[in-house]
Amino acid sequence: MGKYVDRPRYGCALGGALSLLRAIPRAIPIIHSSTGCGYNVYNGINAGAAYFGGGYCGGAALPSSNIIEKNVVFGGEDRLAEQVEKTIEIMDGDIYVIVTGCMVEMIGDDIYSVAREFEENDKPVIPVSTPSFQGNSYTGYDMVFSALAKEYIEAEEEKKVCKVNVIGIVPGEDVFYKGNLKEIKRILELIGIDSNTFVGEGETLDNFKEAGNASLTIVLSDVYGVETAKVFEEIHKIPYLLTGLPIGYLQVEKFLYEVGEALNIDNEVIEKALEAEKETYFDYFERITDIYNDIDLQRYGIVVADANYAPSVSRFISDELGWLPQLAMITDFLTEDQKSRLESRFENYDSELKPLVKFDTDASAVKKYIRELWPADRNERYYDAMGPGFILGSVIERDFADEFNYPLLSIAFPVTNRVIFNRSYAGINGALTLTEDIFSLLVAGR
């Protein structure tokens, strides 16, 4: 029996495609789909991504073929060709990407033949098939990124020894994507690595075009971006490394040694960089120790998030905050191989603790798993409750948090109760920010 999705934490493949294109300066999406499809997708992504915004060519300004019944019956390729022509005429961009909705894929429109009509255009027109029945937002991210790796990124025989491509953080779905990429770039620079994060601060389409001369692709995920990394390896002969998203000093330490080993960087270089970071990091942490002990800020931790955040945040709150990890619920649709890789991320905590790990797309299942760990109060004279607790999840967990009277910090899509600019939770500076946000909630009523 198939698993249903209660209050999904992602959009369709088209949504993921549009989110990535929204993050690339001067990339113009052209939607080939039915009327309203693009705007509905935008409404969901914009609010859920902590108010992502439409940008230069998004939101209500998205170019779309807006096919109607006539096009469904007789085909919509002519309508698409007309839309591409007008979009190039009106919208000043450096690349135009055709993305599709469900209807045109069901009737068999050939977007690739339409794109070939514009081969002589001085700006590339790249078609990508992105119907929702092929996957969710994360799938759409990989679809567009893979197409760019195949058709836009220039081939380079000679590789730069200490240049890497960084992928696996999905714009929009990761509401902290830009701040996270900035911190990852900073960390890699500490050991002399030039990192191309594609959609980070100040990066442009040139970062895509020049990605073929990297020596390594770092995938900050066990799931997202893996298919794109395989394309980089096959087309551009660039090997890849799956590292997960490092949060906190201990995870950054492991991350840098993994990258250093892949690029043959001397351990002394890494040790020297870490020494300075460690001193700064724990100097800030020292400030919280008095209040932590005085009013007992230790909590039972519940993490409900995607495949990137759930493993990293769970390990961080246990190994660096000294909390008791109870449940880590990963909310993505995953294969058995992906689940196996993710389960390994919950092994060998320094605290020697381990949360209950569950894979479930059903938002209401959180309460069920908590009851597996801590049975409900049945008017027993002596009742041991799971408290005090703390939830790191999304706004979907709000009802659960209210029922159990646990504080909730929204860290994973959808995040509609916060506005996020350049905030980061990744790396060392990001972990300090995450710690500030967590403990600020706990002392807010004092």
Give this prediction's pTM: 0.96
User: What is the number of domains present in the chain?
Assistant: 3
The answer to whether residues 362 and 248 belong to one domain is no
Q: What is the DSSP string of 63-114?
A: -B--B-HHHHHH-SHHHHHHHHHHHHHHS--SEEEEEE-HHHHHHT--HHHH
Q: Where are the alpha helices (DSSP H) in 302-404?
A: 309-319, 336-344, 365-373, 398-404
- Whether residue 392 is found in the same domain as residue 341: yes
Domain containing residue 141: CATH number = 3.40.50.1980
* Domain assignment present for 191: yes
140 with 20, same domain: the answer is yes
DSSP 8-state symbol, 428:
H
**Is residue 117 domain-shared with residue 183, that is, in the same domain?**
no
> SS3 helix, strand, coil % of the chain, rounded to 5?
45, 15, 40
Tell me, yes or no, whether 326 and 379 share the same domain: yes
Closest CA to 54 of 78, 82, 29, 79: 29
Cα Rg, the chain, nearest whole Å: 23
* pLDDT at site 397: 96
Looking at the domain assignment, is residue 147 inside a domain?
yes
Query: Residue 288 falls within a domain, yes or no?
Result: no
421 in a structural domain: no
Instruction: Tell me, yes or no, whether 17 and 137 share the same domain.
Output: yes
pLDDT score, position 3:
60
Judgement on whether residues 31 and 144 belong to the same structural domain of the protein: yes
Q: Angle formed by the axes of helices 267-286 and 427-443, to 10°?
A: 20
Pick the last residue of a domain from 87, 122, 152. 152
Domain boundary among 152, 175, 209: 152
Residues 38, 102, single domain; the answer is yes
Give a yes or no: residue 435 inside a domain: no
Inside any domain, residue 7: no
Residues 91, 125 contacting (CB under 8 angstroms): no
Residue 40 placed within a domain: yes
Domain range for residue 395? 296-415
How does pLDDT run along the chain (446 residues), one tens digit per residue? 456 666 789 999 999 999 999 999 999 999 999 988 998 998 999 999 999 999 999 888 899 999 999 998 899 999 999 999 999 999 999 999 999 999 999 999 999 999 999 999 999 999 999 998 999 999 999 999 999 999 999 999 999 999 999 999 999 999 999 999 999 999 999 999 999 999 999 999 999 999 999 999 999 999 999 999 999 999 999 999 999 999 999 999 999 999 999 999 999 999 999 999 999 999 999 999 999 999 999 999 999 999 999 999 999 999 999 999 999 999 999 999 999 999 999 999 999 999 999 999 988 899 999 988 888 776 677 667 788 999 999 999 999 999 999 999 999 999 999 999 999 999 999 999 999 999 999 999 88
Distance of CA 97 to the CA centre of its chain: 21
For residue 157, being part of any structural domain is answered with no
* Same structural domain, 129 and 226: no
Question: Of the candidates 118, 152, 186, which is a domain's last residue?
Answer: 152
Judgement on whether residues 259 and 344 belong to the same structural domain of the protein: no
Could you tell me if 308 and 401 lie in one domain? yes
- Are both 143 and 169 inside the same structural domain? no
